[in-house]
Homo-oligomer: A and B are copies of this chain.
Amino acid sequence: MKELEDRIRRDGRVLAGGILKVDDFLNVRIDPVLMDHIGKEFARLFEKDKVTMVLTIEASGIAPAYSTALALDVPLVFAKKARSANLGQGDVYSARVRSFTYGRDYDILVPSRFITSADRVLIIDDFLANGFAARGLNEIIHEAGAETAGVGVCIAKCFQPGMKLLEEECLHVEALAAIEAMDENGIVFREMKSGEEK
């Protein structure tokens, strides 16, 4: 998605350790017009996947997931993060996720009544790096007996293993901006296979 790539080039900041900061427009301050276009682009890319609901994790996944859910006219559910694993109530699905940013584990929780075995679930998130978050959500979808219709991420860091791991699970994965390499001199984007709306 050229609009997102251009914005990353203009306002993104590459930090040491493979970190890309996009908090000026994507995940702390949000440009609503860009986010609206992101949702419509995900809806176009997954329009043939019979999506019945969108699933994401709080907090930075919520805006792109909501904008996609609106464009697809399906409900959005967001998983909550919890530090303690004292659940065992049977009324939530949960998965253990490792945070790339904080280097520690946390649990993600979704009330079980919000996913049924009839659902085809589209996972949406802002970033795909090691794929921990998306794989945790995928686990919850399987736990519910539902199907994963696809995984859409605003930005994929293809030099980290997440993208490849999800594709190896035969999931339909789309990244609106797929970064091959980046350093202080610039960012190299991968050409997207699904093409872009004219």
Contact = CB atoms under 8 A, between A and B. Distances in A.
Interface in A30-67: 30-33, 35-36, 58-59, 62-63, 66-67
A127 to B, nearest CB: 16
B35 A70 contact: yes
A36 B73 CA distance: 11
A66 B35 contact: yes
A114 interface: yes
B70 A111 contact: no
A76 B73 CA distance: 23
B32 A76 contact: yes
A111 B35 contact: no
Interface of A is mostly: mixed
A29 B66 contact: no
Contacts of A69: 30, 32
Which of A59, A74, A80 has most B Cβ within 10 Å?
Answer: A59
A80 B59 contact: yes
Contacts of A62: 59, 62-63, 66
A32 B75 contact: yes
A69 B67 CA distance: 12
